[in-house]
Amino acid sequence: MASLLNTHVDKVDWDAEIEVQLGNKPNLPRVRRDVGNGLTIALTGGTGPLGQCFLQQLVSDPQVKKIICLVRTVGDRDLQNLSPFNSQKTQIEEADLPSLPPDDILSEADCILHCAADQNFWDGYHALRPTNFDAAKVLAHVTVRTDFTNLSGTIDIARLQDVAVAIARSITSRDYSDTVDMTVIDYPGSERISIESLASLYDALLQHSENQSVAKLPTKSVLF
């Protein structure tokens, strides 16, 4: 233990860490959404407690056509037969965040719901960074195109099930004809990203009718 405590840890440049180049040219083209046949939602962290709550809500919602579950390979587990994903609506895609599946898979998504997190806090920031931080940045980049509207999240104060119900309701009540959305859930174990250029949108976004279920939660909703 003493040797571990004496191990040199590189100083973190937080200004560089939180910088997100959202102005870069995105890989995905702008696609006009036709959601008349149902929404396609991309979900990370679906095997965790929060992700499973969201998955249950989305599977039971008739407005959701497909849930693309990005799942990390662990040992010899069968990704196609994980108990939370036993639904005809779910499509399992192997993804070890921050690595993502091919662009054509995520281009189907009307919304990216990101709640994956590494909760092993013994190894320090650099060990948590790929899943808890870099993943949010690469997913944000996926959504950067001319129809991108907002990047949002929720701090854990409300009950887990209440958060899942409210966010799922918010997702399925949006008009996706010209927009794409990404929701970053800041539940225990996840890292918040500071994007000052979006912070001014916070109050206006909560006034949108589709966000009222989130605004009413006993929680502080913020832009990350």
**Residue 189's Cα: distance from chain center in Å?**
13
Q: Which two tokens stand for residue 45?
A: 């962290």
Q: Where are the domains of the chain?
A: 32-222
pLDDT at 219: 44
pLDDT at 111: 81
The torsion of the CA quartet 43, 168, 108, 130, rounded to 10 degrees, works out to -30
Q: Which two tokens stand for residue 4?
A: 């571990």
pLDDT at 196: 38
Q: Assign domain 32-222 to its CATH architecture.
A: 3-Layer(aba) Sandwich (3.40)
Compute the distance between CA of residue 163 and CA of residue 155 in angstroms, rounded to an integer: 10
pLDDT at 197: 37
CB 90 within 8 A of CB 120: no
pLDDT at 52: 84
pLDDT at 215: 63
Element holding 168 (H helix, E strand)? helix 160-172
pLDDT at 106: 80
pLDDT at 176: 54
Compute the distance between CA of residue 91 and CA of residue 67 in angstroms, rounded to an integer: 6
Element holding 56 (H helix, E strand)? helix 49-60
Compute the distance between CA of residue 110 and CA of residue 115 in angstroms, rounded to an integer: 16
Task: State which residues of the chain have pLDDT below 50.
Answer: 1-6, 24-30, 146-158, 180-201, 219-224
Paired sense of beta strands 148-155 and 221-222, if any: antiparallel
